[in-house]
Amino acid sequence: MVFAGLDIGSQSTCATIINEKEIMASVLMPSSVNPKKIGEEALNLALGKANLSRSDVQYFIATGYGRYQAEANEKISEITCQARGVQWFIPEARMVLDIGGQDSKIILLGKNGRVIDFMMNDKCAAGTGRFLELMTQVLDIQIEDYGTLVNQSREFIELSNTCAIFAESELISLIAQGKKKEDLARAVCRSVVKRILTLAGKMIITRPLVFTGGVAKNQGIITILKEELAFSPLIPPDPLITAALGAAYLAREKSLPEP
């Protein structure tokens, strides 16, 4: 049997197809102003990669910001789907740190990937991929440059403003003072990491901690996260597909009888 998961996010859309044992196909593409259309396109492309059609799908679950636009059997929150997708890759995971383009979240997990608690920031750009993108424009760098620049940094600089707008002004001021680009890049990455860890609030940072979302591919953020946590987070083979994979995983659970 075949099961489908679709994650229509603010920045990217992912469709994942699985069977009883393995991932058959996955497609990731930029989101658009038409969530329904982009979702259908991603799903059809994923099915095509697996040499399947919609009629082959036993159960289909959608998640993400645009899930209500999808013609799925069921719509489930990205928190639940993210947890399940992480469990597929790393069954022993006890906490998920997810940083996407427009939001960030920390999820505490129990056994079998069940969500015990979570905290989410979807109101402010600080602590998200969007913040990093805004700061790349000010620093005149590419998003992939953060990793190299962070490792080259020698002077400690801390951004005092967590608000994206004020942080941008502060960064411009520091550039005018002659501060080096690599030191400012480290300050930007540290600001993002501190923001997301502060989001955890009273939740105890628990290992194994899994890092997901598009920002999980940013080597600068990974470096700072290791320093702040004093241990290395685990990163799935593809940290961008975990929510869609989790949706497909849940679709499988709802279709197959419990052992």
Question: Does 202 or 44 have the greater pLDDT score?
Answer: 44
Residue 166, pLDDT score: 85
pLDDT at residue number 180: 97
Q: Which residues pair with 6 in a beta bridge?
A: 15, 62
123 with 139, same domain: the answer is yes
| Residue range 190-200: mean pLDDT, rounded | 91
Q: Are residues 58 and 160 in the same domain?
A: no
pLDDT tens, position by position, 150-169: 999 999 999 987 777 788 89
- Band (pLDDT 50/70/90 cuts) for residue 75 is very high
Residues 6+ apart with CB under 8 A from 120: 79, 103, 104, 105, 106, 199
Mean pLDDT, the chain, rounded, equals: 94
Residue 258's pLDDT band, with cuts at 50, 70 and 90, is: low
One domain for residues 136 and 251: no
| 150 conformational bin, left if phi > 0, alpha if psi -120 to 50, beta if neither | alpha
In this structure, the answer to whether residues 23 and 132 fall within a common structural domain is no
- The answer to which of 15-24, 80-89, 105-114, 156-165 has the lowest mean pLDDT is 156-165
Mean pLDDT value across residues 203-213: 95
Q: Are 83 and 97 in a shared domain?
A: no
224 has pLDDT over 90: yes
The Cα angle at residue 124 between residues 122 and 126, in degrees rounded to 5: 115
Same-domain status, 231 and 110? yes
Least confident of 15-19, 114-118, 177-181, 199-203: 199-203
Residue 4 has pLDDT above 90, yes or no: yes
* % of residues, the chain, pLDDT over 70: 99
How far apart are alpha carbons 37 and 9 in whole angstroms? 13
Give the domain extent around 135.
92-235
Structure tokens at 188: 């930007």
Q: Report, as an integer, the average pLDDT of 204-224.
A: 96
Q: What is the pLDDT of residue 259?
A: 53
Same domain, 123 and 183: yes
**Strands in the chain per DSSP E:** 2-8, 12-18, 23-30, 57-63, 74-75, 95-99, 104-109, 115-121, 209-212
Question: Both 138 and 251 in a single domain?
Answer: no
Structure-block tokens of residue 234: 């685990």
Q: What is the mean pLDDT of the segment spanning 172-198?
A: 95
**Are 144 and 207 in the same domain?**
yes
Instruction: Return d(Cα 135, Cα 27) in angstroms, integer.
Output: 29
In this structure, are 176 and 74 located in the same domain?
A: no
Bond prior to 91 in cis (omega within 30° of 0): no
Mean pLDDT of 248-255: 95
What is the pLDDT averaged over residues 57-76?
Answer: 96
CATH (domain of 38) = 3.30.420.40
Number of domains in the chain: 2
Asked if residue 249 has pLDDT above 80, the reply is: yes
120 and 201 assigned to the same domain = yes
Whether 98 and 130 share a structural domain: yes
Which whole number is the average pLDDT over 251-259? Answer: 81
